[in-house]
Structures are given as C-alpha cells and as structure tokens.
Amino acid sequence: QVQLVESGGGSVQTGGSLTLSCAASGYTSSTYCMAWFRQVPGKEREGVATIHSDGDTIYPDSVKGRFTISKDNGKNVLYLQMNRLKPEDTAMYYCAAVPDYINCWVHWRDYRYWGQGTQVTVSS
C-alpha cells in the first residue's frame, strides 16, 4: 500500500545541480528510514544518502559535501539536492523506505519500499 514516486531526474553538465523528489503515500510508521540509492548497469546498487525519521543523515564519501538529503513531513516528500555533479554520478536513482530501523545505513535489500526510479545523466 506504501507508494513512492520519484521525479526531478534529467540531464545536466558537469558541475551542475539537480534536485530529486520522492512523494510518499500510505506510510503511517512514526519511526523509519528513508534513503536514496543509485545503480548503473553491471554494478551493485549503491546508497548515496539516508535520513532517519529523527532527522539524522548519513552520506558516503563519494557524495559527502555535494549531496543533501532532506524531508518535508507536512508534504510527505523526500528530497535529494545534488550539487557539483560529476559524470560518475550518472545512474538511475531510487527512493526507498523501511520502518523501525535505528541505523539507516544498511544494505539496499533491507529496504522494504521502493520508487520506480528516475534517471540522472551528467555529461562532461
């Protein structure tokens, strides 16, 4: 019943910015993790940002300082602000959620709910 719908992907030149959005519905848990993952053909799905319902965030070194995850609880929307984009950021980006976790930095298979994905392409 939980649905996640991403939007905001597109094509941008190296150094540019994009903001991804994930609209959530049907999610009633007060304690949860939400995350953004990305994947390219032939490679493992990779976490790029997580946020706990309490507000704590986690980023890998590959995006730290460039990406910011946030959420608007009133609108039920998750965001990923991406700045200073690089060609290696090119991937399909997915929004995901899971209830009742304390640590949100877990394997992607542990996330229960997923969006359909939105493509981000960074050209050099």
- What confidence tens digit (pLDDT) does each residue in 74-95 have? 999 999 999 999 999 999 999 9
User: Both tokens of residue 1?
Assistant: 């019943």
pLDDT at position 99 over 90? yes
When pLDDT is cut at 50, 70 and 90, the band that residue 122 belongs to is very high
**Residue 58, pLDDT score:** 98
Query: Using CA atoms, how far apart are residues 110 and 95, in angstroms rounded to an integer?
Result: 13
**Residue 1, pLDDT score:** 85
Cβ–Cβ contacts within 10 Å for residue 71, how many? 18
Query: Using CA atoms, how far apart are residues 23 and 13, in angstroms rounded to an integer?
Result: 26
**Residue 29, pLDDT score:** 86
Neighbouring C-alpha atoms within 13 Å toward the C-beta of 81:
6
pLDDT at position 114 over 90? yes
Q: Name which of 106, 97, 92, 94 is nearest 25 in CA terms.
A: 97
Q: Can you state the percent helix, strand and coil of the chain, rounding each to 5?
A: 5, 50, 45
**Residue 28, pLDDT score:** 79
Q: Rounded mean pLDDT of 101-124?
A: 97
**Residue 61, pLDDT score:** 98
- What confidence tens digit (pLDDT) does each residue in 9-50 have? 999 999 999 999 999 998 878 899 999 999 999 999 999 999
